[in-house]
Structure 1
Amino acid sequence: MVYVAKVIREFNRNNPGTTVACCGFQYKQYPANMAFFRAFGLKHGREPNCTDGNDRFVPFTILRMKTIVDEASSEWKAEQEIIETRSAQLARILAQDETSDLVDALTFSIREVMRNVFEHSKSRSIEYCAQYWPTYHRVEIAIADSGIGLMESLKGNPYIQVQCDADAIQQALMPAVSSKNYEGIRVDRNDPWHNSGFGLYMINRLCRLGGSFIICSGYHGIKLNDHGKTHMELKHYCKGTVVRMVLNTSKLASLSHMLTQFREEGYIIARQIKGVGMYEASAASQMLSRDFKQNA
């Protein structure tokens, strides 16, 4: 719903002389409650940013970057701390718990994607919604931005070769790859929020434990699950980046233990790739393939 609303909204913006007609929406109660229709301009159902949903879902919400900056300034905190707080609030709403492995995993996953948007995308806002189905041991979270996209962002790293959107997505999924952390650039290692380039790698590893991870940017998308990797050629341009995370709650154990394991495996795999000093599309694809084989 986040993705479709985004595409329709951008189509309307780029084609002001075209009228988009909708039918059958009166009978679709779930998307109406999730504020899907209002998100792309149809006056039906809930408004975005409503907080009176049930205990297990977060309706379509728009979080503006200026709100994050203003809150951080008024509370004398780093912007990432505000993102951490909001991510934890969302996690507790979905999990209906204050502390648990699920809350930890959700907080981490939501925070890392939102941090990527805030630190790299140059987008003015973050859009998201989420649903938890306890009976099916499944949590689904979608997060989108309308920023510069992965290809343009990664061009800021001189060690990364990016020729197309597929290259950029594969690079972004590699461990220790970032547009703001590379040899020759000054990084404050004492800053707890310094960018290590492990966020998307860690999240997709979590999602692949019986769930799935989809990321789209530009004209391309990639889906990862425990069966492998699927490339998707989009028939339209996706401005910015959209991420869909599905976590299998029955597979989540201690988050700190899992993340430590994922990070160590990521370092090993990255070091094994020839020419890792210059990240290329072939190296990224090779890394992902080795990653799947190692964890089969």
Structure 2
Amino acid sequence: MSIVKFPSSCNEIEIFKFCSDVHSYAGVNELVIDFSSMGRIEPFSMIYVAKQIRDFNKNNQETTILCRGHKNKEYAANMAFFRAFGLKHGREPNCKDGNEQFVPFTILRMQTIVDEASKEWKAAQDIIERRSEHLAKILSREEHGNLVDALTFSIREIMRNVLEHSKSRSIEYCAQFWPTYSKVEIAIIDNGIGLKQSLLTNPFIQVQCDSDAIQQALMPAISSKNYKGVRIDRNDPWHNSGFGLYMISRICRLGGNFLICSGDHGILLNDHGKQHIDLGHHIKGTAVRMVLNTSKLTGLSQMLAKFRDEGYDIAKEIKDVGMYTASAASQMLSRDFIRRVQED
């Protein structure tokens, strides 16, 4: 019998190490996951770990997975974490919305969005906009304001990316708002093709590894569907400009942070700059964590206008190179941090 212990911290490095430890036991007859040391757990940790355990179970059907030390973990059970990876304990995913400024583990089928759009004669992105605003209001317990606007925009853009690029059949998410700490965390994950495979459809982008792909995706105006020669209906308010992840990361870096993982790599962006993370395992699809400092959110339109203008300047310089390269993306992103720090 092999045992792997869940960490006491939900720090992303500890979570990635735990997932790598789980995968290292591929092929064993019996694996016990010990949750007795679990302390405070946050949304990203839940959706990321649940997916990794499910994927391990799918790829190692000869291995029996047992759990212990989980029965007194009420918050995780209430967020539907355990049920999300197959353990019969706590609430089921897709349970009713939280009533204490949280959104429990939810699995949303892409086909559900498409069906709703077809029924209402709307674009699928309109349905995503509506769902995003609904989630924003649940988290903030407000009907309007800067926080609702910022949350709606951020959730919408990530969900749009899943719909438009990932080829995933579903999207999984959960979220929590801690008013006392002026902190809100939204975690979203898909089961799609991942950033690398998506960006390879753009002939002007050089992507050789997952690190390259993530860096490219974070740059303004870089997209698998927006490049020279491709037909774009610029009258369509939902046409893909490649600015979504860039704009969200800028919002999150206002005292919060932005983490994105795909393949075998992750990048964390915050006030201190950029941190590359070797996951030590592979994730199918893309996982995103958005942490916003609610005390630093001002009018969304003014923030986005500033970020957009700076993004245009960066995009022009990158496009002048002719072929987008990861090294250029890395340098421009680092300079973007430096520029903002100097302005502050």
Normalising by structure 2, report the TM-score.
0.85
Tell me if 1:175 matches 2:206. Answer: no
Could you say which residue in structure 1 is the equivalent of 2:179? Answer: 134
Residue 54 (structure 1) shift: 1.9
Q: 2:48 aligns to what SS in structure 1?
A: helix
Q: For residues 1-296 of structure 1, what are the structure 2 equivalents within 5 Å?
A: 1-273=46-318, 275-296=320-341
- Structure 2: how far apart are the matches of 1:280 and 1:124? 30
Q: 1:241 aligns to what SS in structure 2?
A: strand
Is the CA contact (8 Å cut-off) linking 1:212 and 1:226 kept in structure 2? yes
Is the CA contact (8 Å cut-off) linking 1:269 and 1:290 kept in structure 2? no
| Amino acid corresponding to residue 68 of structure 1 in structure 2 | I
Residue 52 (structure 1) shift: 4.8
Bigger drift between 48-57 and 35-44 goes to: 48-57
- Structure 2: how far apart are the matches of 1:240 and 1:277? 29
Q: 2:306 aligns to what SS in structure 1?
A: helix
Q: Which runs of 4+ in 1 moved over 4 A?
A: none
| Amino acid corresponding to residue 114 of structure 1 in structure 2 | M
In the alignment, structure 2 segments of 5+ residues that lack a partner are 1-45
Residue 53 (structure 1) shift: 2.3
Bigger drift between 173-182 and 53-62 goes to: 53-62
- Structure 1: how far apart are the matches of 2:59 and 2:289? 25
| Amino acid corresponding to residue 109 of structure 1 in structure 2 | S
Q: 2:126 aligns to what SS in structure 1?
A: helix
Residue 22 (structure 1) shift: 1.1
Cα deviation per residue 1:222-267 (whole Å; 9 max; x = unaligned)?
0000111000001111000000000000000000000010010011
Is the CA contact (8 Å cut-off) linking 1:33 and 1:53 kept in structure 2? no
- Structure 2: how far apart are the matches of 1:182 and 1:123? 23
| Amino acid corresponding to residue 58 of structure 2 in structure 1 | R
- Structure 2: how far apart are the matches of 1:117 and 1:268? 27
Is the CA contact (8 Å cut-off) linking 1:35 and 1:46 kept in structure 2? yes
Cα deviation per residue 1:6-53 (whole Å; 9 max; x = unaligned)?
100001011100112211100111110110000000000010001152
Larger CA Rg, structure 1 vs 2:
2
Residue 275 (structure 1) shift: 4.9
- Structure 2: how far apart are the matches of 1:276 and 1:60? 43
In the alignment, structure 1 segments of 5+ residues that lack a partner are none
Is the CA contact (8 Å cut-off) linking 1:207 and 1:246 kept in structure 2? yes
Is the CA contact (8 Å cut-off) linking 1:274 and 1:283 kept in structure 2? no
Q: How many residues align?
A: 296
- Structure 2: how far apart are the matches of 1:198 and 1:59? 29
RMSD between aligned alpha carbons? 0.9
- Structure 1: how far apart are the matches of 2:139 and 2:51? 23
Percent identical residues: 74
Cα deviation per residue 1:89-109 (whole Å; 9 max; x = unaligned)?
000000101110000000000
Residue 271 (structure 1) shift: 2.5
Is the CA contact (8 Å cut-off) linking 1:270 and 1:287 kept in structure 2? no
| Amino acid corresponding to residue 152 of structure 1 in structure 2 | Q
Q: 1:17 aligns to what SS in structure 2?
A: coil
Residue 276 (structure 1) shift: 3.4
- Structure 1: how far apart are the matches of 2:227 and 2:315? 14
Residue 171 (structure 1) shift: 0.2
Q: 2:67 aligns to what SS in structure 1?
A: coil
| Amino acid corresponding to residue 214 of structure 1 in structure 2 | L
